[in-house]
């Protein structure tokens, strides 16, 4: 098989495929079933940034665990790059950052990343340089030799990203990557996701912070009580093709009236006039980011 | 699709991490200090020797400390190091890598067995040092009683330490089997101690049942004898003399007996853990 045909075939295989996934948990002595995921079907194409959204308890983390083979599905199938999730092989091309990550507190950041790299089969002369590279990528070079037990929440999230990235996986699964992280950390994670996307990586993110996800995702799926209630491209879901916004310098009242009349003569209507607002997180990043720089 | 074969290297990495975690915790140090205290302090506990020769009494104290605190360490360390992975959710990150669950179980087993090896080796060396020191003192005080030379065989002491370690390895494997399906650390520790006691009394139960004579009692006795290992096999004869050393074939048989129980208990632990939801 030629390299061209082979690459076309591998491109056709979705990074993630979930078909009819059901996960029930038993609760109480009578074994009452609690359905965490209810007939979920999803497909994430290679190279996409895909957001799995929903409120707490909507089944996002359960879906991720089933996808990684950490939970046995009650029904349905999951596959990563065409390999069924129950197989160890499925996890070879995956980097995973769990929700509220806890790591071995007795190890230093560098030892932790080295441990996970070696668990993924890495070794030899390139190992140490790769560890340095990912530690620099997540901004933890200075704290690399400190024990993980002394890290802040944001630093734990970043060392979690480093261990997920160290073996250069094709698929990155981030479970609530920005939960509890300050705006600077959130911006850094967002920037990193965009860099990974530019390098052709597939990223699957779960979050309940919809605004943050909107900025980075190509497609999103929204879950509620285990069921898929909405799925599609972000641009299709949030954009309105029949409306446009024009931003102009502030107009005096008489010119605004002329504009309304001009539009009315053409059968159009000026719906709203408002002052554009920036976002608090942008102001924070501008001020705090500059100070830190 | 390229397969990911079972890797002893990954299991050893998990073992190394488990050993490092144990070494950096206070649990190992706590049991070690207690046991060291008993070995060193045995010199001043001679009033409780009930007429046994002093050097024999010192050796009994040393092996007793190794057996009791070693068992406590083996059970507590297995439960703690296993459940810390589950409760701290570090297992989540680890098992999301291309790692077999069998590698995880084997790694945990080897890690705690290494902790037990360190414990037994240190205590054996200390016991040898205490015996050597006291034997020297006694030889100077009562040269006529030691006209034939020293009475302590240090090879026997080392063998005693090795047998204690083998026993602890079996106890670690059995505790790991309990941990693989238990929901709490406390349940694992309590059950582990029950198993430890049963294994020490197994020969009595077997004896009592076989004497009962009935087919049912004999089969229950036989069943118990097969399920629970006999920890009395790991005890040395009541002598420190090289002439009373057990034959090599016996030691090899005991080592194989321990290896067999470890292999079966670890295999069952892998079976119980394979579908466990993390």
Q: What is the pLDDT of residue A87?
A: 92
Contacts of B97 in chain A (CB under 8 A): 91, 116, 119-120
Size of interface A-B (CB pairs under 8 A): 75
Q: pLDDT, tens digit, for every residue of A29-72?
A: 676 788 999 999 999 999 999 999 988 889 999 999 999 999 99
Chain A residues whose CB is inside 8 A of the B20 CB are 106-107
A107 with B20: Cβ contact below 8 A: yes
What pTM was estimated for this model as a whole?
A: 0.86
Query: How many angstroms separate the CA of residue B168 from the nearest CA in chain A?
Result: 25
Q: What pLDDT score was predicted for residue A289? A: 59
Q: Say what the pLDDT of residue A5 is.
A: 47
Residues of A in contact with B10 (CB under 8 A): 119
User: Which residue ranges of chain B lie beneath pLDDT 50?
Assistant: none
In chain B, alpha helices (H): 8-23, 26-41, 54-87, 90-95, 101-141, 154-181, 185-212, 215-227, 248-273
A119, B99: Cβ pair inside 8 Å? yes
| Interface residue B218 vs chain A (CB under 8 A) | no
Q: B6 — contact with chain A (CB < 8 Å)?
A: no
Residue A130 has pLDDT above 50, yes or no: yes
B93 to A121: CB separation less than 8 angstroms, yes or no: no
For residue A75, the distance in angstroms to the closest alpha carbon of chain B comes to: 15
Least confident of A7-21, A92-106, A182-196, B221-235: A7-21
Cβ <8 Å between B93 and A116: yes
Instruction: Identify which of B1, B3, B96 has the shortest CB distance to residue A96.
Output: B96
Share the mean pLDDT of chain A.
87
B85 contacts chain A (CB < 8 A): no
* B88 Cβ under 8 Å from any chain A Cβ: yes
Interface pTM, i.e. ipTM: 0.84
Q: Tell me the pLDDT tens digit for each residue of A216-268.
A: 899 999 999 999 998 999 888 877 777 788 888 888 899 999 999 999 999 98
Q: What residues of chain A lie within 8 A of the CB of B90, using their CB?
A: 102-104
**Residue A3, pLDDT score:** 46
């Amino acid at each position: 098989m030629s390299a061209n045909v082979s690459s076309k075939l591998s491109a056709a295989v979705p990074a993630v495929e979930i078909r009819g996934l059901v996960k029930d948990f038993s609760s109480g002595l009578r074994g009452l079933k609690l359905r965490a995921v209810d007939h979920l079907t999803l497909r994430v194409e290679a190279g996409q940034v895909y957001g799995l959204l929903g409120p707490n308890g909507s089944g996002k983390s359960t879906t991720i665990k089933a996808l990684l083979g950490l939970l046995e599905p009650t029904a349905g199938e999951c596959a990563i790059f065409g390999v069924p999730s129950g197989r160890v092989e499925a996890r070879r091309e995956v980097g995973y950052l769990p929700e509220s990550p806890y790591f071995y507190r007795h190890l230093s950041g560098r030892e932790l990343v080295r441990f996970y790299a070696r668990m993924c089969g890495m070794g030899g002369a390139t190992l140490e340089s790769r560890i340095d590279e990912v530690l620099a990528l997540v901004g933890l070079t200075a704290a690399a030799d400190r024990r993980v037990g002394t890290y802040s929440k944001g630093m734990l999230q970043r060392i979690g990203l480093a261990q997920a990235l160290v073996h250069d996986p094709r698929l990155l699964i981030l479970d609530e990557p920005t939960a509890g992280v300050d705006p600077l950390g959130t911006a850094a994670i967002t920037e990193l996701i965009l860099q990974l996307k530019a390098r052709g990586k597939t990223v699957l993110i779960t979050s309940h912070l919809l605004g943050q996800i909107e900025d980075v995702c190509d497609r999103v799926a929204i879950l509620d009580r285990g069921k898929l209630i909405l799925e599609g491209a972000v641009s299709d879901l949030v954009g309105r093709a029949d409306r446009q916004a024009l931003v102009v310098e502030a107009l005096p009242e008489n010119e605004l009236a002329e504009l309304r009349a001009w539009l009315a003569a053409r059968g159009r209507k000026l719906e709203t006039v408002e002052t554009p607002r920036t976002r608090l997180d942008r102001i924070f990043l501008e001020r705090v980011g500059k100070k830190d720089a | 699709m390229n397969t990911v074969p079972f890797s002893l290297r990954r299991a050893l990495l998990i073992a190394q991490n488990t050993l490092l975690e144990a070494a950096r915790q206070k649990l190992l140090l706590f049991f070690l200090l207690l046991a060291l205290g008993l070995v060193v302090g045995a010199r001043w506990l001679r009033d409780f020797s009930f007429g046994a020769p002093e050097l024999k009494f010192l050796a009994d104290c040393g092996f007793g400390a190794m057996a009791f605190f070693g068992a406590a360490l083996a059970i507590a360390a297995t439960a703690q190091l296993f459940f810390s992975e589950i409760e701290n959710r570090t297992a989540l990150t680890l098992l999301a890598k291309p790692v077999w669950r069998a590698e995880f179980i084997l790694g945990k087993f080897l890690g705690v067995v290494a902790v037990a090896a360190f414990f037994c080796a240190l205590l054996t060396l200390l016991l040898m040092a205490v015996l050597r020191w006291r034997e020297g003192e006694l030889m100077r005080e009562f040269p006529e009683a030691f006209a034939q030379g020293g009475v302590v065989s240090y090879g026997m002491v080392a063998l005693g330490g090795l047998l204690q370690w083998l026993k602890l390895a079996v106890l670690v494997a059995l505790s790991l089997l309990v941990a693989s399906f238990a929901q709490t650390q406390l349940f694992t520790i309590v059950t582990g101690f029950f198993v430890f006691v049963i294994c020490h009394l197994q020969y009595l139960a077997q004896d009592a049942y076989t004497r009962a004579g009935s087919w049912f009692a004999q089969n229950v006795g036989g069943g118990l004898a097969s399920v629970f290992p006999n920890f009395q096999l790991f005890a040395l004869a009541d002598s420190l003399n090289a002439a009373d050393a057990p034959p090599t074939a016996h030691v090899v048989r005991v080592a194989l007996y321990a290896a067999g129980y470890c292999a079966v208990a670890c295999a069952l632990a892998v079976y119980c853990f394979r579908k466990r939801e993390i």
